[in-house]
Amino acid sequence: MKTFHDLEYENRLNCLLDNNVGGVDRLRKRKIFINNLNNNIMKCMMTDVCDKISEKLSVLKDIPLLLMRLVLAYGFYGPGMMKWGNIDGIISWFGEMGIPLPGLNAYLAASTEVGGAFLLLIGFGTRLISIPLMVVMLVAIFAVHLPNGFESGNNGFEIPVYYLIMLFTLLIYGGGNISLYGLIKKRTGK
């Protein structure tokens, strides 16, 4: 925001320019220089502020990774245990949906979900387990949720897409330092 003095200076400068008082080119160049200088000062101040904020927040960078792991572990554990609790029903359901090798895929899905939940919880093998969990989510989207639309209230694919995004984030960034892997890394100095 411009102060009163800035506006007064601009008014005088514009008045001189409009009245063609001597040295018009010099005044125009000075005005351009001052405007560029003000813009550069503001850019530097904003960059400095952003850098300071980023530096302060960097100590918290592992917390979102931990929270994603915990949310996903909770989200996969329940359905995985439900599958194990009624594996014959799941095999039958997979067969009805036309999933090939329903018995094998039911055991793979249940094992991936429960094992993945455990690994995500402790934060070990996060990148590795993210891949099969993403496959489970893709199968769930295309086999179950897609015909219901996007909204989760209609059993749509909204929640599986959120899981996919979180799993992709963990695949790229790993589980963070607040994890078993982070503890091992810290202890070994690597």
- DSSP letters, 64-96, are HHHHHHHHHHHHHHHHHHHHHHTHHHHHHHHHH
Q: Distance between CA atoms of 76 and 99, rounded to whole angstroms?
A: 20
Please give the structure tokens belonging to residue 171: 């695949």
pLDDT at position 44: 64
pLDDT at position 88: 97
Tell me the pTM: 0.73
pLDDT at position 52: 80
Are 171 and 127 within 8 A, CB to CB? yes
pLDDT at position 18: 55
pLDDT at position 81: 97
Q: Distance between CA atoms of 106 and 41, rounded to whole angstroms?
A: 62
pLDDT at position 23: 58
Output the CA torsion sign for 64, 65, 70, 71: positive
pLDDT at position 116: 98
Q: How many CB atoms lie within 10 A of CB 164?
A: 18
Distance of CA 19 to the CA centre of its chain: 57
pLDDT at position 36: 66
Mind listing the pLDDT tens digit of every residue in the chain (190 residues)? 666 556 565 665 565 555 555 555 666 676 776 676 666 666 666 777 777 878 888 888 999 999 999 999 999 999 999 999 999 999 999 999 999 999 999 999 999 999 999 999 999 999 999 999 999 999 999 999 999 999 989 999 999 999 999 999 999 999 999 999 999 999 998 7
